[in-house]
Amino acid sequence: MMTGKEYKESLRKRNIVVYLQGKQIPAKELPDHPFIRGHVNSASVTYDLAFDPAYENLMTATSHLTGKKINRFTHIHQSVEDLVKKVKMLRMLSLKTGTCYQRCVGFDAMNATYGTTFEMDQKYGTHYHERFKKFLEYIQDTDFMVSGAMTDPKGDRSKRPSQQSDPDLFVHVVEKNDKGIVIRGAKAHMTGMVNSHEMLIMPTMSLKPEDKDYAVCCALPVDAPGVLHIFGRQSNDGRKLEGDIDQGNAKYGIVGGECLTVLNDVFVPWERVFMCGETDFAGMLVTRFASYHRQNYGGCKGGVSDIVIGAAAAMADMNGYAKASHIKSKINEMIHLTETLYACSIACSAEGVQLPSGQYFVNMLLANVSKHNVTRYIYEIDRLAQDIAGGFIATLPSQADLESPEIGKYVEKYFKGVDGVSTADRMRVARLIEVMTGGTALVESMHGAGSPQAQEVMYSKLANLEAKKKAALKIAGVKVED
């Protein structure tokens, strides 16, 4: 297993081609680039904690291939306990980082490919599974980070891959020979790709026989000839060039550092090809990957929500209204929603089943319910955090203003909360809440023209509740005075 330091140094040895804001970034400089550094730091935590006795039980496993101790992110689930430990590990890591640590996608891709190749070989007499096991053993021995690459650009969504006017909008095989295949296309929204070592290419949807060239699953280094990566933008990413207060989560960043990965006639040797034309298994691979990945979200987003809850509660302390009953009620609701997310991920793991390959797979229904809950509850958790924090989280001056010899004293004076808490610390928590919950536009909708509590006070006065009570009592047959 690698340490976090060894992981970072290994990234400098790649010949990866990455473009950021129109310019190519030298490979050796990538781990230190302000836009990428936080993502590297968060992934490093997954390496370092594997050596911490307090977290060893969650962070490591025993390889079923070699019997060696390995990082859990390179493991194939061998029991329901493994599935449950995965979710617990993800929540713990989110509590440590407050963000995405990027290894989940490759983890889930490897588990999905493992079982699917086994069943392909059973039906067709192919050798994909043995090839994949050799690749997996290589990943376990090196402790390399794998980026799962499923999502294609897709082009015209009403058309199948083989019907597109531009065939490259889905990754496809353009050549086969006795040494391997050549693929062309692109993969979009690739989490952690620029700070990974390998990528695992998968189909993006169920396929029909006419889509045969698009039924491809294979592994290749992120710096293979013909591969280039275009790093995506994030909200407020310009702050990464500024002070650490303004970044919110300066050490680990926000979200996962996604990119567009372009594959310009990339050669893949046969020993790294795990599907080539078997359209009837594309849907299985996609479904299994999606289910494993959706299992995660109550864990990782539960842990991220723990940080949002903590930040909101801390801000209530700093602002002096933590004891107000409506604040306590809102924090309790945030806790309830977060634990509901987590419970569903634990449930889909506890209801796991064994596949023909011997590995364990989640309950698909509950895994999908878990992820669907995240698409709703996170917004409510974040809305409540913005409500509790107050509108100033979206109108704060910068760290440079706080530190300015000319105007710093005014920022210090007028953005102070309760006695005993520094303005700088209050600003740090405010920025953390801002960047973790969506930023200025949503906060303005929440607090512009008055906070929700202010509206509650007014409509409780204006709604003529006594008249409503009398009307209800009359209908119920209770005598009331007019």
237 is a domain residue: yes
Q: Are residues 169 and 25 in the same domain?
A: yes
- The answer to whether residues 161 and 22 belong to one domain is yes
440 and 456: one domain? Answer: no
Q: What is the C-alpha to C-alpha distance for residues 385 and 327, in angstroms, rounded to an integer?
A: 10
Closest CA to 411 of 421, 402, 419, 398: 402
Q: Are strands 198-201 and 146-149 parallel, antiparallel or unpaired?
A: parallel
Query: Quick one: which of 54, 27, 53, 48 has its CA closest to 103?
Result: 48
H helices present in 296-389, as ranges: 297-319, 325-350, 364-389
Q: Which residues contact 167 (CB under 8 A, 6 or more apart)?
A: 161
Does 226 have pLDDT greater than 80?
yes
Is residue 293 included in any domain, yes or no? no
DSSP at 252 = T
Report the catalytic residues.
100, 104, 191, 258, 293, 297, 300, 444
User: 401 with 465, same domain?
Assistant: no
**For the ranges 164-168, 351-355, 447-451, which has the lowest average pLDDT?**
447-451
Confidence of residue 281 (pLDDT cuts 50, 70, 90): very high
Tens digits of per-residue pLDDT, 227-280? Answer: 999 999 888 888 899 889 999 999 999 888 899 999 999 999 999 999 999 999
Residues 269 and 337 in one domain: no
8 A C-beta contact, residue 203 and residue 150: yes
421 and 312 in a common domain: yes
Averaged over 171-198, what is the pLDDT?
Answer: 97
Q: Look up the pTM and report it.
A: 0.92
- Is residue 287 assigned to a domain? no
CA angle, 434 then 439 then 445, to 5°: 110
Q: Does residue 289 belong to any structural domain of this protein?
A: no
Across the range 452-464, mean pLDDT stands at 77
Same-domain check for residues 89 and 233 = yes
290 inside domain: no
Mark whether 223 and 92 lie in a shared domain: yes
Question: Tokens at residue 341, please?
Answer: 């997310």
- Are residue 92 and residue 229 in the same domain, yes or no? yes
Has 423 been labeled as part of a binding site? no
108 and 195 housed in the same domain: yes
Identify whether residues 433 and 456 lie together within a single domain: no
- Domain around 387: 299-446
Same domain (yes/no): 322, 253: no
The domain tally of the chain equals 3
- Looking at residue 441, its pLDDT comes to 59
Give how far the C-alpha of residue 311 lies from the chain's centroid of Cα atoms, to the nearest Å.
20
Each residue's pLDDT tens digit, 114-142: 999 999 999 999 999 999 999 999 999 99
pLDDT of residue 482: 79
467 occurs within a structural domain: yes
Residue 443 has pLDDT above 90, yes or no: no
